[in-house]
Amino acid sequence: MNDAAAPPDLPADGRPWVYLASQSPRRQALLREWGVQPVLLLPDPHEDAEALEAPQPGEAPAAYVRRVTRAKLAAALARLRRRGWPGGVVLAADTTVALDGAILGKPADADAARAMLARLSGRTHEVLTAVAVAAGGRRWLRLSRSRVALRALAPAEIDAYVASGEPFGKAGSYAIQGRAALWVRRIVGSHSGIVGLPAFETGALLARAGLALLR
């Protein structure tokens, strides 16, 4: 039996847990830090998960990240029903970087990563993360907005960073929890939201779903 179809190994010790519709190790780590065990609810091989993240023409960054997150949650709920797994709280999230109203998603290749980082060099950009939760037939969504100011970057620094491989799979071609943290002059907002899962918004949504994390 492949992993996509295997029944989940649910925590049996009373710990809070959620179905996480994301393979991001950063989101998994954040949930564990907050006392929540993530149970991965990942796409089946036939699902085109990347297609959900394609921006629509003229779409504003906030509208984009909300739409993608709602679509990820809907796909996860359909996946849960299709597999016949036990019911539970389902969480989905999406993060994007915006500069001058333009969406900077995950780089397709090294050239795209270098181009994005050159655009962000010496500028302040916005990081938007939407998180959505479903439980008991209800759905909730919240949006986190943060601003990140990067110092000016030399071309050689950008080249070395791209060569490290860290930009790939990251919105805006950088990871604030990695080497790129050395470039950040200032952030205004949620550090965990920039990483990929905003603590305040996620905690509030999980409480709405019946998971009180701090008692």
The partner residues of 135 in beta bridges, in order of sequence, read 138
Average pLDDT of the chain? 92
The partner residues of 19 in beta bridges, in order of sequence, read 39, 90
The partner residues of 15 in beta bridges, in order of sequence, read none
d(CA 54, CA 193): 21
How large is the average pLDDT for residues 99-122?
A: 96
Each residue's pLDDT tens digit, 4-40? 556 677 877 778 999 999 989 999 999 999 999 999 9
How large is the average pLDDT for residues 107-113?
A: 96
CB 66 within 8 Å of CB 45? no
3-state secondary structure 28-79: HHHHHHCCCEEEECCCCCCCCHHHHHCCCCCCCHHHHHHHHHHHHHHHHHHH
Is position 48 annotated as part of the catalytic site? no
pLDDT of residue 92: 98
pLDDT of residue 113: 97
d(CA 73, CA 92): 5
Q: Between 53 and 93, name the one with better pLDDT.
A: 93
pTM: 0.91
CB 134 within 8 Å of CB 77? yes
Domains of the chain: 17-208 (3.90.950.10)
- Which of 13, 44, 48, 94 is labelled catalytic? 94
With left for phi above 0 and alpha for psi between -120 and 50, is residue 205 left, alpha or beta?
alpha
In terms of Cα–Cα distance, which of 35, 12, 152 is closest to 86?
12
Each residue's pLDDT tens digit, 155-213? 999 999 999 999 999 999 999 999 999 999 999 999 999 999 999 999 999 999 999 77
- Is pLDDT of 3 > 50? no
